[in-house]
Amino acid sequence: MTAPETPTTAEELRGVGLRVTAARVALLETVRAGDHLDVEAIASGVRDRVGHISLQAVYEALHALTAAGLLRRIEPAGSPARFEGRVGDNHHHVMCRSCGVVADVDCAVGEAPCLTASDAHGFSIDEAEVIYWGLCPACSTSDS
């Protein structure tokens, strides 16, 4: 028995009803190859792959890919929005106050939502978002 083939980026885009363009393919691959990238870093990575693309086109593609569930947007307080390719789970993040590095933190329970609200106020909660703040090992060492 052979393992199922991983869909190509173009097939993933078609699978969620999006038109396949070189910019969308490059953007999705840039975010997935990166590590919690901001819009400027994504635009730079896309330009490296396909040449000129406007910042507006990057924003529009990010919106479409996020709405389609292919990317996840995180918005740490006081920081620009960042995007990641890890979707489909309810993981959290740890962020350095000094250098801004971000890392994934798996849920303690492992299923969405992995936190229980003390009072849901009648909401049907399906996701919880937590950002742990502190200093990364490199910044902790340099501050000592």
Write out the binding residues for Fe cation: 111
Known binding-site residues for Zn(2+) equal: 96, 99, 136, 139
Q: How far apart are CA 23 and CA 30, in angstroms?
A: 10
Q: Tell me the pairing of strands 102-105 and 92-96.
A: antiparallel
Residues 6+ apart with CB under 8 A from 115: 128, 130
Q: What is the DSSP letter of 116?
A: -
Task: Mark the binding-site residues, compressed into ranges.
Answer: 96, 99, 111, 136, 139
Residue 56: CB atoms within 10 Å? 8
